[in-house]
A and B are shown apart, each in its own frame.
Chain A
Amino acid sequence: MRYTLGAGGLSVFLVLLLILTGTLEMFFYVPTPEQAGPSIQALTFLTPFGGLVRSLHYWAAQLLVAVVVVHLARVVLTGAYAQPRRFNYLLGLALLVLVLLLDFTGYALRWDEGVRWALVAGTNLLRSIPFIGNGIYRLVVGDDQLGSAALLRFYAWHVFGLTLPLVFISAWHLFRVRRDGGIAAPSPMQRDSRERVSRDVLVQREVIVMLVGGALLFALAAFVPPPLAPPLSEASLQAADSRAPWFFLWVQELLRYGDPFLLGVALPLTLALFLGLIPYVLPSAQEAELGRWFPRGNRAAQGALLIVALFVFALSLVGILR
């Protein structure tokens, strides 16, 4: 009998929760430099359950990054990306990128001293792209330096510009799961046991993961409030935090060692490309082992993923320990 980690289902649950809590926050948040910080403070401290809504949104967002990475690892380490699921794997990678961008734009909306240098360095990284760098910077930031235009654009990206593709691609991704024959498993002829885990059991398992995950999320949201620093202003510049958000600590660490474009843009893009090519370039698992952990057929792919994961994890650890 196979089981599921429920990571995919949990991701869907977290996205729905994020959309709900995000919509609730939109009734109070004001995306201008003068009002962003005060509106978040009013929501957090003065609105009944406002702090809880914000905390849920923050923790669901951070958990989502962790859960989709677990899901990606699971897919690669069980060989489940093999044909006919290769395209769906690419859709999933696109979702990963969207989730990271959503996390970063959401983080920027705080417009407080905790995000100041992350925003400056992150947007300046765009400028380092040859030929089109300045153009992309102006597109993203809306001006030749960070200001009210940048905040408004990040808000637009976060609420709709990135969410709409996320919802669309998620729907497609889920549709493809069904179209490609459900959870990856060998065909009945190739299995030892003729039993197939029933849909009811799978769904129940996923629902339990969602419920337990939800309970943990609520507990976390209640007892560990999300960070909030004084609003961005000239006077408070000295208090600014120079650490990148946790999911980009590895990039910040990389940037200490050389050219910003090569290390901060080209290398991460190459890693993403590398992950995307795995199903097309490296050997896939045999159908008989599909869905089992660590099948023999795609050891190279597993190794590749683990190397990338170790690389990112080690850099993040160094960044945390500084």
Chain B
Amino acid sequence: MKHTSLVFASFGLLLAILLAGWWSTRGPEVTSITPTISGEPEYCISCHQDLPEISPSHPVEAFGCVSCHGGERLALDEDLAHSSMRGGANPSDLAVVEQSCGGNDCHSGAAGDQRDHIQRVETSLQATYAGAIAAMRYTYGAQPDAAARTGVNAVEDPHSGTGILRLEQFIPAQEVSPQLQLFSENCLYCHLSAKPMEGEEYHRYTGCSSCHTPTAGIGGEQVVHSLTTAIPYTQCNTCHNRGNYDLREMAFHPRSDNPGDRMHDYYQPIAQYTRCEWTLDCIDCHTRTEVMGDGDLHSSQSEAQYVQCLDCHGTAEELPRTYTITDPEDIAMRLAFFHPVSDLKVGDTILVTSLGEPLWNTRVLPDGGYELFGKASGQRFTFQAAAGTSCEQNPTEQESRYCHECHAEEH
């Protein structure tokens, strides 16, 4: 045949073109969402269509993916799409939380409106670890008293109510005492910026997700894409109740068992607990300012923690503080909206702490009794005030340890 090589070459080119054309049509099915918050189409769900919605208050139709995670919204190549994501897979890590979760209308708004979550968390003890660090530095002579001066991250608090206006960053390499070096190596696994220790029982994320993404009991490989305010005690126990510190060795001795029965296995032996403490979830009593911070820099957990038994039960002589909700925009109504465990309504009377924080999951009953709904469990409990009972506790000595003397069960 004349021009054989020409014919073959043309055939080859045609084949190559068809092959190239067919190959370029392969790939994930291209699907997009256009979130209302940005108005720009995002193609993340072409690959991530099995990802569950993260929470009812962050619907994907409104937020999309990129407003929180960053990333390249138009890319379908894995490496390029993920290249500009904030915080790796966790945009709530404190290093990037302001860009991901912040904003006036979101979680770094006005303090008066109680929308300043990020500022409060960044100054809280769980983020700064300032109490433990201050105690250690004081003990080993690096500072003259136990007032906090350094924290895990440098942070500022110009409107401080405690007099501590800032914390500098704790830099172990600059510390003189070798005990402090050891402290930094062995004892800094439990703050909001720290990667937890190895092990399923410690598994949690960093930043806001340390608490708000329930990971307890879920293996480390499985990604948990969830945000919740119904935080069970198991999440707290990824850091708390995990073992003992040994100051002589400056080491942490983790529990050897994986607790099952909460009362007998989770809590320390020989300690005493009242029934609330091994029935309710931690967040049923410990309030937002206690856990997330009140916006001020503190030197010790004892300054931050203030809720006592009397906040719910009152004293032998006084009923617990209450107030009646009149404003539909009341902070209690806002909180209950995300958590309709008690079906809170305007006009309900609820308990309130000594610092004015509403215990929105409680209610004063018409017969004079009280009810509480577990925030995470939804369980309903009824209880009585101490007034009018056989309680003999001195009304001026109302720390919980006094109540424990009669009401605690020994472990």
Direct contact of A and B (CB under 8 A): yes
Q: Report which A residues bind B (CB closer than 8 A).
A: 37-38, 41-42, 44-46, 48-49, 51-52, 204, 207-208, 211-212, 214-219, 221-223, 225, 228-231, 233, 235-236, 239
Contacting pair B43 A219 (CB below 8 A): no
Q: Does B244 contact A (CB under 8 A)?
A: no
Point out the residues of chain A lying under 8 angstroms from B12, CB to CB. 211-212, 215
Top-6 shortest CB links A-B: A222-B20, A211-B9, A215-B16, A41-B74, A45-B76, A218-B16
Instruction: Determine the distance from Cα of A38 to Cα of B15 in the docked complex, in whole angstroms.
Output: 32
Q: Does B384 contact A (CB under 8 A)?
A: no
Point out the residues of chain B lying under 8 angstroms from A52, CB to CB. 20-21, 24
Nearest CB of B to A60, in Å: 13
Instruction: Determine the distance from Cα of A52 to Cα of B19 in the docked complex, in whole angstroms.
Output: 11
Q: Does B223 contact A (CB under 8 A)?
A: no
Given A211-B10, A228-B80, A229-B83, CB of A219 within 8 Å of CB of B75: no
Given A208-B5, A215-B12, A215-B13, CB of A221 within 8 Å of CB of B20: yes
Given A218-B20, A229-B83, CB of A204 within 8 Å of CB of B72: no
Question: Which listed residue (A46, A51, A208) contacts B43, Cβ 8 A?
Answer: A46
Secondary structure of the B contact surface, majority rule: helix
Q: List 10 A-B contacts (CB under 8 A).
A: A42-B74, A45-B43, A212-B9, A214-B16, A215-B12, A215-B13, A218-B19, A222-B24, A223-B23, A239-B83
Point out the residues of chain A lying under 8 angstroms from B23, CB to CB. 222-223
Contacting pair B24 A51 (CB below 8 A): yes
CB-nearest residue of chain A to B30: A46
Point out the residues of chain B lying under 8 angstroms from A231, CB to CB. 72, 84
Point out the residues of chain B lying under 8 angstroms from A204, CB to CB. 3, 5-6
Given contacts A48-B25, A52-B20, 6 further A-B contacts (CB under 8 A): A38-B73, A46-B43, A215-B12, A215-B16, A219-B19, A233-B84
Nearest CB of B to A100, in Å: 27
Instruction: Determine the distance from Cα of A229 to Cα of B3 in the docked complex, in whole angstroms.
Output: 45
Nearest CB of B to A215, in Å: 4
Contacting pair A45 B74 (CB below 8 A): yes
Q: Report which B residues bind A (CB closer than 8 A).
A: 3, 5-6, 9-10, 12-13, 15-17, 19-21, 23-25, 30, 43, 72-77, 80, 83-84
Nearest CB of A to B81, in Å: 9
Point out the residues of chain B lying under 8 angstroms from A225, CB to CB. 77
Contacting pair B13 A45 (CB below 8 A): no
Instruction: Determine the distance from Cα of A207 to Cα of B12 in the docked complex, in whole angstroms.
Output: 13
Nearest CB of B to A210, in Å: 8
A-B pairs with beta carbons under 8 A, tally = 85
Point out the residues of chain B lying under 8 angstroms from A49, CB to CB. 21, 24-25
Nearest CB of A to B42, in Å: 12
Question: Which listed residue (A45, A214, A236) contacts B83, Cβ 8 A?
Answer: A236
Question: Which listed residue (B9, B15, B72) contacts A230, Cβ 8 A?
Answer: B72
Instruction: Determine the distance from Cα of A208 to Cα of B3 in the docked complex, in whole angstroms.
Output: 10
Given A204-B6, A212-B9, A212-B12, CB of A229 within 8 Å of CB of B24: no
Instruction: Determine the distance from Cα of A42 to Cα of B75 in the docked complex, in whole angstroms.
Output: 7
Point out the residues of chain A lying under 8 angstroms from B15, CB to CB. 215
Question: Which listed residue (B13, B21, B30, B80) contacts A211, Cβ 8 A?
Answer: B13
Point out the residues of chain A lying under 8 angstroms from B76, CB to CB. 45-46
Given A211-B9, A211-B10, A222-B24, CB of A45 within 8 Å of CB of B16: no
Instruction: Determine the distance from Cα of A215 to Cα of B73 in the docked complex, in whole angstroms.
Output: 33
Nearest CB of B to A205, in Å: 9
Nearest CB of B to A217, in Å: 8
Nearest CB of B to A1, in Å: 15
Nearest CB of A to B388, in Å: 62
Question: Which listed residue (A41, A211, A212, A215) contacts B72, Cβ 8 A?
Answer: A41
- Which of B9, B23, B43, B73 lies at the interface centre, i.e. has the most chain A CB atoms within 10 A of its CB? B9
Nearest CB of B to A260, in Å: 31
Given A51-B24, A212-B12, A215-B16, CB of A207 within 8 Å of CB of B43: no
Contacting pair A207 B83 (CB below 8 A): no
Instruction: Determine the distance from Cα of A277 to Cα of B133 in the docked complex, in whole angstroms.
Output: 74
Point out the residues of chain B lying under 8 angstroms from A45, CB to CB. 30, 43, 74-77
Point out the residues of chain B lying under 8 angstroms from A222, CB to CB. 19-20, 23-24
Given A46-B30, A214-B16, A219-B20, CB of A41 within 8 Å of CB of B80: yes
Question: Which listed residue (B6, B19, B80) contacts A229, Cβ 8 A?
Answer: B80
Given A204-B6, A230-B84, A236-B83, CB of A214 within 8 Å of CB of B13: yes
Point out the residues of chain B lying under 8 angstroms from A233, CB to CB. 84
- Which of A45, A48, A217, A225 lies at the interface centre, i.e. has the most chain B CB atoms within 10 A of its CB? A45
Instruction: Determine the distance from Cα of A284 to Cα of B76 in the docked complex, in whole angstroms.
Output: 56
Question: Which listed residue (A46, A212, A214, A235) contacts B74, Cβ 8 A?
Answer: A46
Point out the residues of chain A lying under 8 angstroms from B3, CB to CB. 204
Nearest CB of B to A257, in Å: 33
Nearest CB of A to B256, in Å: 42
CB-nearest residue of chain A to B40: A38
Contacting pair A236 B75 (CB below 8 A): no
Question: Which listed residue (B17, B75, B77, B80) contacts A218, Cβ 8 A?
Answer: B17
CB-nearest residue of chain A to B27: A45
CB-nearest residue of chain A to B74: A41
